[in-house]
Amino acid sequence: MRVLIIGHLGLLGSALMREWRESDVLGRDLPDIDIRDAQRVQQQVQRIAPDWIVLTAAYTDVDGCESNQELAFAVNRDGPISVAKTAKRCGARLLFLSTDYVFDGRKTSPYETDDPRNPQSVYGRSKAEAEIGLMEVLPECCIVRTSWMFGVGGKSFPDTILKLTSTRPALDVVNDQRGGPTYSVDLSRAIIKLCRQGASGIVHATNSGECTWFEFASEIVKGAGLATEVRPVSSEQMARPAPRPAYSVLSSASLNRYGIHMPAWQDALRRYLEERKN
């Protein structure tokens, strides 16, 4: 199986490049490929002739998307739809990374894949519209929604928390947003299995379990053996340009149907801290 990872220098893309074995895996990223440039994408895909395209490239600055809406939709919606059209012309399968931000966060039980989309932010809208467009162009594509991703090799919540502990005796972290942390290594392994099984449709993939950002931060500090105080605060006290879902836990049922089960987020965090230390 020949695989093209678009966005291979990012947090997830780099993990996929490390984890994917027993396949011919090639990575492309800026400046070699820009998903906003349909002609360039088609040239690269035709040259590589992949069986699968895994599209991890995205504009993921959630607050930045609020003030750069044109860029957000160009990268997160129009680019992926263009890639899907190329995949269709070239006979390649497509796996697209989406997000829990397509939901409004008003549920109190894990979101299923068929729950209605109702994004509250520009980032969420750009991803939701991409999902709809992809399914129209390439109905057999696989859309993997994930949440709260962290890992080595890029900016993520645990990395930010650990850096802040070096300069602050105490940290204020929101305690009224609940979701599911996802380790890039575990997500990569799930994606590889999905591609090998020829998965299609929408799949939710996160580490098992749920927590608030405050609980996540507390576990990070504890796991790193630090004495920094972590204090719970409300979202109102830590106002951000883009609204966040109050609850965005994703159900694992769709992933489990493929026989794939991801470890608990606490176990994933322990392995992340070990990887980061080494």
3-class state of residue 63 by DSSP = helix
Question: How many CA atoms does the CB half-sphere of 95 hold within 13 Å?
Answer: 32
* DSSP conformation class of 101: G
Residue among 61, 231, 105 at smallest CA distance from 161: 231
Rg of the chain's alpha carbons, rounded to an integer?
A: 18
123 catalytically annotated: yes
Which listed residue (111, 123, 183, 247) is catalytic?
123
Residue with tokens 């929408």: 202
Which letter does DSSP use for residue 54 in this model?
E
Element (H, E) at 270: helix 265-277
User: Taking CA 184 as the corner, what is the angle to CA 31 and CA 200, rounded to the nearest 5 degrees?
Assistant: 85
What is the distance between the terminal CA atoms of the chain, rounded to a whole angstrom? 32
Residues with a catalytic annotation lie at 123
